[in-house]
Chain A
Amino acid sequence: MAIIVNLDVMMAKRKISSNELAEKIGITAANLSILKTGKAKAVRFSTLDKICEVLDCQPGDILEYRKE
């Protein structure tokens, strides 16, 4: 897919672990892993909202479009 999820980069910058982030945004660690590995087919606005709130960032910091 042409959409790249840079969640792990942002998590590293904020020094937050996967389990901690999953707990704070209210999703399972397995679902966060799906999101991080780029296997997700869609992201809910509510999930994106919580991620941005917890990581104090913009959606553009997490999602990136790269032409294939």
Chain B
Amino acid sequence: MVNELTGWSQMKSLRLSRLLVLGMFFLLIVLMFTSYIIAGWFSAISVGKGVIKSNLTGAVTAMICICDIFALIAVASLHKLLSNISKDEVFIPQNALCLRVISWCCVFAGLTMTFFSLWRYEFLFTAFFAMFLGLIIRVVKNVFEKAIELKSENDFTI
């Protein structure tokens, strides 16, 4: 369907989403290899407090690497989700599984950041947002599962 005013179509929107997911994937790969440099920058400018005061750079590097793995898994799931949607396969169990994986990735990233808040309390804020995002995606997953059930019922109504 094409919007008459903007000329923007659903297909173009999907293509943009896939492009953004691809961009995010490469960004995460770069982040993985530059985590130590970024952690160094963070240590240099960080003025916050934490329970543990030693080796902040190492802790932040470990946090970035662990969270990066979860983000990569989430991005891979997003890619799978978008490719299924572009094939007109929206309400299928595999998509619900993708959302479930993304939701758990957010929760685990949140837990990781909670642990690393021992070095800097500020990480608790990002941990809260990650867990909140995980919760939202979990609810969307529940909606998806219900939609799959309804679609199956509809498909088998002759």
Contacts and interface: CB of A to CB of B under 8 A. Distances in A.
A22 B101 CA distance: 42
B150 to A, nearest CB: 11
Q: What class of interface size applies to chain A in its complex with B?
A: 10 to 19
Contacts, number: 23
Interface residues of B, number: 5
Contacts of A42: 153, 156-158
Interface in B128-158: 152-153, 156-158
A4 to B, nearest CB: 15
A32 B152 CA distance: 16
From B152, B153, B157, B158, name the one whose CB has the most chain A CB atoms within 10 angstroms. B158
Contacts of A14: none
A36 B157 CA distance: 13
A58 to B, nearest CB: 18
A67 interface: no
Contacts of B152: 41
A39 B153 CA distance: 11
Interface of A: 27, 31-32, 34-35, 39-44, 47
Interface of B: 152-153, 156-158
In the A-B complex, the 5 residue pairs with the closest CB atoms: A41-B156, A42-B157, A35-B158, A40-B158, A31-B158
Given A34-B158, A40-B158, A47-B158, 6 more contacts: A31-B158, A39-B156, A40-B156, A40-B157, A41-B152, A41-B153
18 contacts: A27-B158, A34-B156, A34-B158, A39-B156, A40-B156, A40-B157, A40-B158, A41-B152, A41-B153, A41-B156, A41-B157, A42-B157, A42-B158, A43-B157, A43-B158, A44-B157, A44-B158, A47-B158
